[in-house]
Structure 1
Amino acid sequence: MPHIDYFFATLSPYAYLAGDRLEKIAEKHGATITYKPLDIIALFGRTGGTPPKDRHPSRQEYRAQELVRQAKRLEMPFNLKPAHWPTNMAPSSYAVIAAQNAGGGDLGALCQNLLSACWAGEKDIADDAVIKGALSDAGFDPSLADSGLLAGAETYAANLEEAVERGVFGAPFYITDDGQRFWGQDRLDYLDLHLAGQL
């Protein structure tokens, strides 16, 4: 059975634009997924990247155009300047980690709930009520937002170290069990083809 390690940030617009395509690809190929939320700003610092706010104006302008274009093409609601961005990614990441450990719900839906809350819903994903609502809507016990803090913090830090070690430098980032790496939601078609043995 193929496996995909999915490195992402709960605040990433590109992870939001991935929608549920990763989960559909995994289902199509009988693949399992491990969700690995991480601190994308720390990852940039460790791998030669630059946070969006510190990029050259031409890069910022292109990013703004490209995000809007991609959202339109994917027919997804999108706010280029959400009210609560940037915000603290750690609490929502801890919730994803706790939910993955606990099981019983839909992890893909949880991630998308959090991402869409920021990029389409004008909500602060660092807010406890928003996190608990996302957990509940995805079939998880909302109390996981409180009970998983310690383990979540440890795994969150470990995910960053693993990402650096395995060549991850952005989000979303997908690594298959045979070591193939795919960066960006616009490479999901390549991941699909690879799992089909066609690429």
Structure 2
Amino acid sequence: MARQPTLEFWYEFASTYSHLAAHRIEAAAEAAGVAVRWRPFLLGPLFASQGWTTSPFNLYPAKGRAMWRDVEREAAAAGLPPLTKPDPFPQNSLNAVRVAVYGQDQDWLVPFSKAVFAASFAQGKSIAEPGSVIAILDSLGLDGTQVLKASAAEANKTKLRVNVEEARSRGIFGAPTFLTDDGELFWGNDRMDQALAWASGDRPPGLR
């Protein structure tokens, strides 16, 4: 029996388009016969290496205005709750991503990740403070205080740094990014379907 193809889904909790992708990738991947590996990481260090101190959507206001309207349209089309713009944007996602990296091999990673996105972009809640992350974990039936404490251990901080360096080494520069088994990179929520098709072997003529 052939091995099921896998698509890596690299996402950042402060990313608007990661929010959209996180809520539709499971159904789309199942339909395509592709497994998904969720890969949380931080964009900040990658932006800093390009000389950016904040999101490019803040650095270029016209681009930012277009993005917020686009995400609003896309959320409505996907049947998601109305979009809420976090204040400030982007939110500090360090505590949340540490937890996600800690839980990367746990069955609660996906529901936790989707709950963080919903809190930030649908419910207008902060995801920056430790208490906010603990509340999300508690709502999933976990011991939020203990999980957050474990995620702040040096071994897990190192794991997060390794994730960021892996993203950098593999050419990732934004989120969401999708990587196929053969290393093909697709950037952006609007490229998810193409990424899934490539992963499943359905590729444009002349491209292999």
Could you state the TM-score of these two structures normalised by the residue count of structure 1?
Answer: 0.85
Q: 2-side partners of 1:6 and 1:139: how far apart?
A: 25
Note if 1:4 corresponds to 2:14.
no
- Among all aligned residue pairs of Structure 1 and Structure 2, give the percentage whose two residues are the same amino acid: 29
Look up the SS of the partner of 2:178 in the other structure. Answer: strand
Describe the shift of the 1:83–1:57 C-alpha distance in structure 2 as closer, same or farther (beyond 3 A): closer
Note if 1:96 corresponds to 2:117.
no
- Cα deviation code 1:131-176 (max 9, x no counterpart): 1232244454422111121233212222221111101111011111
- Aligned AA for 1:119? F
Q: 2-side partners of 1:155 and 1:163: how far apart?
A: 12
Of the two, which has the highest radius of gyration? Answer: 2
Deviation at 1:74, TM superposition (A): 1.6
Choose from 150, 175, 187 the match for 2:191.
Answer: 187
Describe the shift of the 1:183–1:159 C-alpha distance in structure 2 as closer, same or farther (beyond 3 A): same
Q: 2-side partners of 1:30 and 1:36: how far apart?
A: 16
Report if the CA contact (8 A) 2:41-2:163 is conserved: yes
- Cα deviation code 1:29-81 (max 9, x no counterpart): 25241x33222132223357772354233222222221222222222224352
The correspondence of residues 38-53 of structure 1 with structure 2, limited to 5 A, is: 38-46=41-49, 51-52=55-56
Deviation at 1:184, TM superposition (A): 1.2
Look up the SS of the partner of 1:100 in the other structure. Answer: coil
Report if the CA contact (8 A) 1:82-1:119 is conserved: yes
Q: 2-side partners of 1:185 and 1:138: how far apart?
A: 26
Describe the shift of the 1:126–1:61 C-alpha distance in structure 2 as closer, same or farther (beyond 3 A): closer
- Cα deviation code 1:63-104 (max 9, x no counterpart): 222122222222222435223533321100011111124x2x
Report if the CA contact (8 A) 2:84-2:120 is conserved: no
Describe the shift of the 1:80–1:193 C-alpha distance in structure 2 as closer, same or farther (beyond 3 A): same
Describe the shift of the 1:7–1:120 C-alpha distance in structure 2 as closer, same or farther (beyond 3 A): same
Choose from 132, 146, 150 the match for 1:147.
Answer: 150
**1:122 aligned residue:** 124
- Aligned-residue Cα RMSD (Å) equals 2.4
**2:163 aligned residue:** 159
- Between the two proteins, the alignment pairs up a number of residues equal to 196
**2:206 aligned residue:** none
- The farther-off stretch of 42-51 and 72-81 is 42-51
Look up the SS of the partner of 2:39 in the other structure. Answer: strand
**1:111 aligned residue:** 113
Could you state the TM-score of these two structures normalised by the residue count of structure 2?
Answer: 0.81
**2:71 aligned residue:** 67
Report if the CA contact (8 A) 1:172-1:183 is conserved: yes
Describe the shift of the 1:53–1:2 C-alpha distance in structure 2 as closer, same or farther (beyond 3 A): closer
- Aligned AA for 1:127? E
Report if the CA contact (8 A) 2:75-2:83 is conserved: no
Unaligned stretches of 5+ in structure 1? none
**2:22 aligned residue:** 19
Report if the CA contact (8 A) 1:7-1:37 is conserved: yes
- Aligned AA for 2:8? D
